[in-house]
A = this chain, B = another copy of it.
Amino acid sequence: MLGRLNHVAIAVKDAEKAARIYGAAFGAEISPAVALPEHGVITVFVTLPNTKIEFIQPLGEASPIAKFLERNADGGIHHVCYEVADIIASRDTLIKEGARVLGDGQPKIGAHGKPVLFLHPKDFSGALVEIEQA
């Protein structure tokens, strides 16, 4: 069963600046910026009552969001992250249903210290999907 929407990620050149707009325009709660060198991003979270918006900014030369920002200079919605109860069982069901798992298919530790996997956008209506162990 599909779990909670953990977050919507928006890629931008300046994550703190982007999050501040939500603070000013909506009075939303903004987290401090955190660098995740192993993922090549800096993250800032905006907390909503039921989920989070994650602003991600490139970190380092080989950031996985650098190309996205070349194509989308203003930024843009980059991915959605769903929680699943068992990431290995979900991965195996997804593969059986014909979805492609990105990378080597082994979960990595994500921004919340939990195992995550990314799924191919072409198998999900053009949307990059992240699944995270709940």
Point out residues on A near B: beta carbons under 8 Å.
Answer: 1-5, 8, 10, 12, 18, 21-22, 24-28, 46, 48-51, 53, 55, 72, 74-77, 79-80, 82, 84, 90, 93-94, 97, 99, 121-127
Number of copies of this kind of chain in the complex: 2
Contact A5 B51 (CB under 8 A): yes
In the assembled complex, 22 residue pairs joining A and B whose CB atoms fall closer than 8 Å, in A order, are: A1-B26, A1-B27, A2-B46, A2-B48, A4-B50, A4-B51, A5-B50, A10-B127, A12-B125, A21-B99, A21-B123, A21-B125, A26-B82, A55-B125, A74-B125, A75-B125, A75-B127, A76-B126, A76-B127, A77-B79, A77-B80, A77-B127
